[in-house]
Amino acid sequence: MPAGAYTNSDFFDLEVEKVFRKEWLPVGHVAQIPNVGDYFTIDVLNELLVVVRGRDRIRVMSRVCLHRWAPVCEGSGNAKVFSCPFHRWSYGLDGQLIATPLMEAKGGFNPRSCSLPEIRSEVVCGTIFITFSDVARSAGELLADWTEAMEIYRPEELKIAYSVEFDLNFNWKIAVETFMESYHHIGAHATTAEPYYPAKLHWVDDTREGWTAGHGYLREDLPTSVAFGEFGGKLDPFPSLSEDQLRRSLVHLVYPIHCFFIGVNRLHWTALIPVAVNKTRWVRHVLVQPEALERQDFPEIVERLRQSGVKITEEDMAVNDMQQKGAASSFAKPGFLHPLEKPTWQLSDYVRRRLGS
């Protein structure tokens, strides 16, 4: 991709129109809202959304009040109704307008005919996906082969060990590419990931329609236990993994912005939400087996995982900040890619196909 694809606002607007408004985008994981009434808010492409577990199902709705546009809720929590702070119009968990103080006397207005607009959503492997498209093919259908690959981790049953969010000052493609390619382990992660999962032992699959995957391998001379011990926060591995699988780590990209690091004992659920050409919202939930939460030493495990996870992320952000600056130079041309950077090529190809040239 030319460097302008990372710096030009018109190009970003085109991506919004032809990619993000048409594809399936991750907004969260079911573990964020286990009980009826649980909700969280998230902003995607200037749409202010609320994701809520209703009595019957999960809904993703606009949280912009139908009266004078104030958001009816913020943050996360548990609600019986959403009551707008401005003039106290109230909405049920299904978005139905149920109370409009002092409006009863105003003829011709029927609150019962009003609801917060719902955005099309689907849950696949525990991820709550949305699309603004009426015609996009079902996410479950598109990602049937991904569901199969993820089955072994029981992703819909996992719980959140911790969550973390960052506002990045670089283009969404830079964030996705760096998540997926392992060539940079020798530079950015020379003392953190490289000593355990060296770049030279990685390889990348050919792309599927909806997703792609990269595979890493634990350094040959290290015992398997290092993967869930010293490198994995001392948390037990997923029970169903073979000896060979215990030596692997995986990265998945569900196009265009849903990334997973899959370790032997945890999943790094990640959404890289585009905000502007040089702004990306990075949302991560670290998912572990439900049994882990019952361990007495769970707080220490979480602390170890958080420290190592955030350190690696900060190493990525440091180089990505530099890269975004460099991309604005008139001397920035597409560089020669190493085979380990195949996901970078795959993402460029995906964007190119969506944009039509």
| Distance in Å, CB of 41 to ligand FES, minimum | 15
* Beta-bridge mates of residue 40: 51, 76
81/186 with CB nearer ligand FES: 81
From the list ligand FES, Fe ion, none, pick the one residue 67 interacts with, judged by a Cβ distance below 5 to 8 Å according to partner type: ligand FES
| Distance in Å, CB of 85 to ligand FES, minimum | 8
Cβ atoms < 10 Å from Cβ of 342: 21
Chain residues binding ligand FES by CB under 6 A are 65, 67-68, 70, 84, 86-89
Contact status: 316 vs Fe ion (CB under 5 A) = yes
| Distance in Å, CB of 316 to Fe ion, minimum | 4
63/258 with CB nearer Fe ion: 258
Give dist(CA 63, CA 53) in Å, integer.
Answer: 14
Contact status: 181 vs Fe ion (CB under 5 A) = no
Contact status: 177 vs Fe ion (CB under 5 A) = no
Cα dihedral 203/206/212/215 (nearest 10): -20
3-state secondary structure of 133: coil
Helical (H) or strand (E) element with 178: helix 172-180
| Distance in Å, CB of 100 to ligand FES, minimum | 8
Cα dihedral 350/186/188/260 (nearest 10): 40
Angle formed by the axes of helices 172-180 and 342-355, nearest 10°: 140
From the list ligand FES, Fe ion, none, pick the one residue 353 interacts with, judged by a Cβ distance below 5 to 8 Å according to partner type: none
From the list ligand FES, Fe ion, none, pick the one residue 70 interacts with, judged by a Cβ distance below 5 to 8 Å according to partner type: ligand FES
Give dist(CA 353, CA 211) in Å, integer.
Answer: 15
From the list Fe ion, ligand FES, none, pick the one residue 316 interacts with, judged by a Cβ distance below 5 to 8 Å according to partner type: Fe ion
38/316 with CB nearer Fe ion: 316
H helix and E strand count, the chain: 7, 17
